[in-house]
Structure 1
């Protein structure tokens, strides 16, 4: 986004704002970037609700969530490698090491969230009566 992109002002309940702020922090985005990201997702072929609700596209939802989980696990591995390299690098600063550790923790939290999503979608799938 550029500074010359149009500005939009809107009101939202405090609870929603808090949720977006928490999500932005977890995803390493600014509040504005998180809002834009979520809005862009809403215009893709499958809505976020369809992807995660287990609705009419429940198999796709589970497949999508499982792929997301694998990507999150891969991000943990990569961030741990970067942390190890940072700790070995004699020229890295304390800030470099702290940021690398932060990225590992952030990636690990993303794995936990993705695991919960997969578990929830599997339960929904398994609880549906077979046709």
Structure 2
């Protein structure tokens, strides 16, 4: 790390710069699979919480419903996600990851783990755990 970064203690800049660098690397990895990081995050959440509403999915991914709707339209067109009627409320729609979506998620996940490992290179496991804990605490403080 160069000295110019050591003097900068502006949290917003540090977080933004790091996020953008990580997102660029993730975008490069996912482009070969035909997905964006935003699409993958929605797909990943659906792999854990199948049958959720669009509203709940927006909450889980920290996005507005309109943005999630646009992402879902693209994932549905790619046959990675489907919409189905909620059996308990015909007006409600449930989102379900398809077999194709699950298979693609399983292909991409190991590559993202490699990217995370690259990101944490040179850090001890305890430092990574502390870092994640601190970031979550900061998020809670702002939420």
Fold match (TM-score > 0.5)? no
Higher relative contact order structure (alpha carbons within 8 Å, sequence separation ≥ 6): 1
What is the TM-score when the length of structure 1 is the normalising length?
0.31
What TM-score, normalized to structure 2? Answer: 0.29
